[in-house]
């Protein structure tokens, strides 16, 4: 679980997003990061029970830096106001589908799949879905999957059929996605309770067949 002081730190950072304040409160940040690191380690342990490949990582390799890359941004705020971890084979920069934990006051969520795949990988994923649509739909239309992630994948879509696919294809909408990602928003109170790790286990277990489908394609396209 995440403590109230950690929530307070990120809330205050939104209004004090500059180096001097951060340096003055570095000890609070380090305590909050440690809590998040402990959570990610517990999540990796849960994931290892059903997806050993993705669990071959560490919290340190999975957690994103709090420093923002401001080189090409109009927003020069130096720090993110959230903490995030991507648990996947190869760590946070992995090309594989994985599991994501997002900690942000008022915007906590659990998600997974693959975000911003390369053009070659995206093309391969669309072909795999096109050729195995019944299998893909059986995963994402399963009632327990819908219970957690709703009836729609998350992310941007093309307005028309992707190049190389028939416009009259009955399930064309599934091929238009630029990402293959699912998201479950969570209340702050869950992140502050002992029930959080049980929720992570349940949500990520349900996500596993979706990731497995995506990863078999990525593995094949990488060879």
Task: Classify residue 116 as left (phi > 0), alpha (psi -120 to 50) or beta.
Answer: left
Q: Which of 133-137, 178-182, 209-213, 218-222 shows the lowest mean pLDDT across its residues?
A: 218-222
Alpha carbon of 99 to those of 43, 53, 143, 182, 208: distances in Å? Answer: 9, 12, 20, 10, 9
DSSP state, residue 161: P
Q: Considering only CA atoms, which of 123, 97, 93 is closest in space to residue 210? A: 97
For the record, the structure tokens of 26 come out as 């570095």
Answer whether 9's CB lies under 8 Å from 32's CB.
Answer: yes
pLDDT tens column, 87-119: 999 999 999 999 999 999 999 999 999 999 999
Residue 129 and residue 136 in contact, taking contact as beta carbons nearer than 8 Å: yes
For the chain, the structural domain boundaries read: 4-222
Q: How confident is the model at residue 223 (pLDDT cuts 50, 70, 90)?
A: low
Confidence bin at 72 (pLDDT 50/70/90):
confident
Q: What is the mean pLDDT of the chain?
A: 95
Q: Taking a C-beta distance cutoff of 8 angstroms, is the pair 94, 71 a contact?
A: no
Give, in order, the Cα–Cα distances in Å from 67 to each of 6, 78, 80, 156, 209: 17, 6, 6, 26, 33
Using pLDDT thresholds of 50, 70 and 90, give the confidence band for residue 45.
very high
- Average pLDDT of span 14-24: 97
Tokens of residue 16, six digits: 């004090």
The residues that bridge with 112 in the sheet, in sequence order, are 99, 182
């Amino acid at each position: 679980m995440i403590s109230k002081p950690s929530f307070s730190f990120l809330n205050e950072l939104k209004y004090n997003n500059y180096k001097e304040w951060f340096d003055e409160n570095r000890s609070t940040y380090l305590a909050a990061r440690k809590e998040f690191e402990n959570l990610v380690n517990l999540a990796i342990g849960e994931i290892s029970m059903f997806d050993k490949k993705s669990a071959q990582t560490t919290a340190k390799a999975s957690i994103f830096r709090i420093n923002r890359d401001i080189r090409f941004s109009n927003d020069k705020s130096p720090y993110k106001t959230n903490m995030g971890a991507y648990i996947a084979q190869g760590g946070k920069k992995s090309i594989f589908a994985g599991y994501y934990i997002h900690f942000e006051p008022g915007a906590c969520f659990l998600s997974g799949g693959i975000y911003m795949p390369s053009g070659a990988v995206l093309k391969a994923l669309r072909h795999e879905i096109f050729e195995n649509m019944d299998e893909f739909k059986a995963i994402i239309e399963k009632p327990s999957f819908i219970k957690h992630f709703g009836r729609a994948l998350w992310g941007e879509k093309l307005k028309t059929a992707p190049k190389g696919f028939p416009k009259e294809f009955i399930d064309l909408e599934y091929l238009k996605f630029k990402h293959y990602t699912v998201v479950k928003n969570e209340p702050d109170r869950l992140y502050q309770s002992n029930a959080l790790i049980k929720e992570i286990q349940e949500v990520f277990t349900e996500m596993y067949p979706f990731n497995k489908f995506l990863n078999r394609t990525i593995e094949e396209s990488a060879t």
